[in-house]
Structure 1
């Protein structure tokens, strides 16, 4: 972990007062129109991370809709977003007593000043605090070694400048059994597991869960592929407000075909509760 991040952990940022909160905050221009400067701090290979972008849109919809928390949000990634100014446009589709639904688009401008839509989402919001505390599940938390036996980006070779700025903002400790790709010996299994948090110590909330489902290295690496794996579509479900403490994230891929793969993610909190799930379709570059 960088020294700056270590210093931040000592004071522990709080929800609402952290780098993640500042970098996902949108400014209302007119009803349904928000401005934001997409931060370069959440980039991978110079493209803005999809989970960070989902959190930005999630924040705008939370301001638009009468309910506070994303329950389900589906995003289609149309073009690659770049750091810099962006506009989010939201629309309320329906409001009800327990759920409200809205849609949002994130747009930027190309070099000739033309508007380009980057992402379009449809989401349903509710209030997680009103849900009954009744869990009946066959799901089990991922079996991860203790955090001190796992490895983060700081344990590997120095990254290429500008290629992995997001890792400086994450507390990411990967299960050694899913790290064969980093040693040139991928297992051939589409699995990635890690302890996850924000580097400044901020506890998780529903919006950072939207980041968590898309913040680990691609499962394609452990299948033996390299390079960028851009998301085509991602649907995330937030199931519960997470307990304080580090999260555990497990991502699996069962099928790569035609240059596309799916990634199924589960996010578990420190109370052993499944707090978020997602599925995404991503494109891979075949040799």
Structure 2
């Protein structure tokens, strides 16, 4: 058996996997990354990314698509990977994550298809109309300790909130004080609470770590991810990230969330789109 991890931050420890056999990894889903009772989808994506990074010959996730089949629970899990194709500049693989019922039967939680490459070898040419989100300075944004009178600006903090250095743009935090804007927008400064610097693997967490845009649309409840595709565009520079998420359409009980992640050097380092189910009240 071989432990697969890099670094000793809480994120690195909690996304570590143990190679039991070629393509088969044991993992433990940490309760520290839960929302309500389910394990966060971005954390799961990073965990799968860790296993695929060991199974494939290229170092960096570039495109990762995940279908969330059933809600994952804290505890042991098994990840099985398969190398689909390897080339000179990119490789492709699949991964499944399973947990076990009380009778020992397998429950598949998550299935992933991913393309890996080397972000350090990409050309420097950038031609884009994308612009970093307009977010107030870090100190003017709202964290869990920012509300008047000591009331948390992000109420009902869950376990994952304790592991994030999250500062919400006040214009997209009205839901936290009972005054949502009605717009499907969420913007924030983002980092890990223990100071670990961002890298391509942690970006898989970042794209799915903010509160749901549905909250700012005046709804509340659970918003489980059905499908999430993340594109990693560049290795991020050290420092806090800026994340902007938008929803244009909530219909039939489902909504999409489009995310952009920008680093401290004003580079677009990750993008994602997810389809989520609105199990909401409001």
Q: Please, what TM-score do these two structures have when normalized by structure 2?
A: 0.94
- The alignment status of 1:91 with 2:82, answered yes or no, reads yes
1:163-217 Cα distance to aligned partner (Å, 9 max, x none):
6100111100000000111111111100000000000111000011000000000
Structure 2 residue matching 1:155: 3-state secondary structure = coil
1:228-258 Cα distance to aligned partner (Å, 9 max, x none):
1000000000000000000000000000010
Are the equivalent residues in 1 in contact too, given 2:226–2:276 (CA < 8 A)? yes
Structure 2 residue matching 1:148: 3-state secondary structure = helix
Q: Structure 2: which 5+ runs fail to align?
A: 1-5
* Aligned partner of 1:65 among 53, 56, 61: 56
Structure 2 residue matching 1:168: 3-state secondary structure = helix
Aligned residue in 2 for 1:204: 198
What's the CA shift for 1:154? 2.8
What's the CA shift for 1:111? 2.0
Residue correspondences, number? 271
Structure 2 residue matching 1:214: 3-state secondary structure = coil
Structure 1 residue matching 2:77: 3-state secondary structure = strand
Aligned residue in 2 for 1:188: 182
Aligned residue in 2 for 1:253: 247
Q: Structure 1: which 5+ runs fail to align?
A: 1-14
Q: Please, what TM-score do these two structures have when normalized by structure 1?
A: 0.92
What's the CA shift for 1:286? 4.5
* Aligned partner of 2:224 among 227, 230, 252: 230
Are the equivalent residues in 1 in contact too, given 2:120–2:235 (CA < 8 A)? yes
CA separation of 1:82/1:286 partners in 2, compared to 1, >3 Å: closer, same or farther?
closer
State how 1:101-140 maps to structure 2 within 5 Å.
Answer: 101-140=92-131
What's the CA shift for 1:285? 2.4
The structure with the greater share of residues assigned to strand is: 2
Distance in 2 (CA, whole Å) between partners of 1:153 and 1:119 is 30
Structure 1 segments of 4+ aligned residues over 6 angstroms from their partners: none
